[in-house]
Amino acid sequence: MRTAGVCPNHFTFSAVLPACASTSILVHGQQMHCLISKHGYEGYVFVGSALVDMYAKCHDMGLAEKVFVALPERNIVSWNSMIVGCLLNSFHVKALFLFKEVIREDLFSPNQVSFSTVLSASANIGALEFGKQVHGIVVKQGLLTLPYVKNSLMDMYFKCGLFDEGALLFNSLGIENRDVIAWNVMSMGCVYNENFEEACNYLWVMKRAGITPDEASYSTALHASAHLAALDQGTLIHNQTIKSGFSTNSCIATSLITMYAKCGSLDDACRVFEEIDNPNVVCWTALIAACQQHGNGNHVIKLFEKMLADGLKPHYITFVCVISACSHTGRVEEGHAYFNSMEKVHGIIPGHEHYACMVDLLGRSGQLDEARKFIAQMPIKPNASVWGALLGACAKYGNLEIGSEVAGRLFELEPDNPGNYILLANMYAHKGKLREADHVRRLMGINRVRKEPGCSWIDVKNKSIAFTVHGKLHARTDEIYEMLKKVKELVTNKGYVPQTQFAVNSAEELKEESLWYHSEKIALAFGLLALPAGAPIRIKKNLRTCGDCHTVMKFASEIWKREIIVRDLNRFHHFRNGLCSCRDYW
């Protein structure tokens, strides 16, 4: 800092502090702070503002606020440093409070940094009314034309669920004024509001408008493709990332892994990972999550151990995937060991997701009493996901005593979730307690809870075709049902026995027949008709696939010598040669 007797002045410190902030190394910033105090520059507004910014970016908001409060005078840069710091460290309510103070003091006007930051904070906590008030001030001060502010306003409306208001702001920008950030905010707005097809389309519209997509553009489009399970669309976007030189970008590579995994192509997800130089923990977690979702629990454990051996520190989501993988492969002791290592070894405090996975781990292995004891000993209050895991286990093992108690808790926590009512009603029905089952179904009617009808999709020639239970709207309905008869005949010859417990809503004499009208079976019949011989059949289902359909898929994969991939509400099932990737433990 000092050479040949030259003494640094306050301008020097103001220039050097941002470098400390950019490295986020707190100790360097503290050393600089000591020098500043020694030379008496702590009270200079620009030096003080830079110190606030440095501490905020080093994630020490306590010291940032201490410096801020001690400033003898403050300007808009000082206030912005604190507001931006609160946003960076997720103190969103505090950011809103500080902005109000700026407005209240009325000594200087907020600038585009102030407005953009407070709008982002409002968006992150869904503070719509506050955001609308800020919008009014923006208009009053004539700052609405600034792209920085307008993009933040769009983002705020999208995240608060007002898609039309955000889209209106986007459309008010002339085509010539839409930069890549504006396009990205619009695309993400579509994702937030589940307009996934539109989100994908905006990538191509942006390119036609002469805008070069960036990392965020491709990641958003891949995210939307993943939600749609649109493999062809995702592959096209992948091709664009290669042409644009983004294929080695770790953020985009992570999005590609997730996209391929959610589209049912685990092999492609693995290939993307293998091409990454020095994958970070986010890349590793994406692949671990992909393998877990596809029922490849053994590979999840191998990947996790390899990641640890490479010196990478797992994060919160990594452990959710690993413990879930243990649950789906019956690794009870290993699951306990990984759970216990979270806080002891890695300093990660378990959350509801981890506790739910542990309850699921115990429940799937039939240890229902242990699962209930585990919940009773939780240091945090169990939420619906934790109780839901136990209810699912009770349904699997037919434990009405614990199941009815747990269902009662869930009816209070999430009264609008039809799955809890249906599980309990089915448990009663399987035990022959039809009166109690009818009572639970009547309770659904009283609470105005409706079961979502089963629906399955299959992609043929770049078109997604939907089938519902007993669906007969397709132009090839007669052929489909003829194929369905053929499937039934062939699987029966192979030893298929109907599992009528999965047709509890039908009259006893119609139960076996009704099983053959499940949407995924109809989609399978259509796939056998419409797809080339030997081509994989990819089916998506909005609900959990039933045990009878699972059995039929196994037989069909063996009879027709082709891979059948079913993505249901929870996971993927890969059927090959009469076997499923889940090994019937699901």
Min mean pLDDT across 94-108, 151-165, 304-318 is at: 94-108
**Which amino acid is located at 51 in the chain?**
L
Position 17 pLDDT exceeds 80:
no
Position 512 pLDDT exceeds 90:
no
Measured CA to CA, the distance from residue 556 to residue 549 in angstroms comes to: 10
Q: What share of the chain is helix, strand, coil (3-state, %, to 5)?
A: 65, 5, 30
Measured CA to CA, the distance from residue 395 to residue 544 in angstroms comes to: 14
Q: What percent of the chain has pLDDT over 70?
A: 91
Is residue 529 helix, strand or coil?
helix
Which of these, 235, 232, 258, 266, lies nearest to 317 by C-alpha position? Answer: 258
Position 220 pLDDT exceeds 80:
yes
- Is the distance from CB of 76 to CB of 46 less than 8 angstroms? no
Average pLDDT of the segment spanning 562-567: 94
pLDDT recorded at residue 5: 47
pLDDT tens per residue, range 442-471: 999 888 998 888 899 998 887 889 999 888
For 539-573, give the DSSP string.
Answer: EEESSPPPHHHHHHHHHHHHHTT--EEEE-SS-EE
Measured CA to CA, the distance from residue 302 to residue 61 in angstroms comes to: 39
Q: How does residue 39 score in pLDDT terms, banded at 50, 70 and 90?
A: low
pLDDT recorded at residue 411: 95
pLDDT recorded at residue 109: 86
User: How many other CB atoms are found less than 10 A from the CB of residue 554?
Assistant: 22
Average pLDDT of the segment spanning 475-495: 95
Position 569 pLDDT exceeds 90:
no
E strand intervals along 401-509: 455-460, 463-468
pLDDT recorded at residue 10: 47
Most confident of 344-358, 443-457, 569-583: 344-358
**Which amino acid is located at 390 in the chain?**
L
For 14-48, give the DSSP string.
Answer: HHHHHHHHHHT-HHHHHHHHHHHHHHT-TT-HHHH
Question: What is the rounded radius of gyration, in angstroms, for the C-alpha atoms of the chain?
Answer: 28
pLDDT recorded at residue 11: 47
pTM for the full predicted model? 0.84
For residue 412 the two structure tokens come to: 């209070």
pLDDT tens per residue, range 365-392: 999 999 999 999 999 999 999 999 999 9
Q: Give the chain's mean pLDDT.
A: 89
The neighbouring-strand residues paired with 464 are 459
pLDDT recorded at residue 104: 86
Position 183 pLDDT exceeds 70:
yes
Our CA angle for 563, 235, 274, nearest 5°, is: 80
Position 198 pLDDT exceeds 60:
yes
Measured CA to CA, the distance from residue 387 to residue 359 in angstroms comes to: 8
Most confident of 46-50, 131-135, 451-455: 131-135
- Is the distance from CB of 541 to CB of 569 less than 8 angstroms? yes
Average pLDDT of the segment spanning 224-252: 92
The neighbouring-strand residues paired with 573 are 566
The total number of residues written for the chain in this structure = 586
pLDDT tens per residue, range 221-230: 999 999 998 8
For residue 1 the two structure tokens come to: 């800092």
Q: Which residue has the higher pLDDT, 287 or 174?
A: 287
- Is the distance from CB of 156 to CB of 122 less than 8 angstroms? yes
pLDDT recorded at residue 3: 45
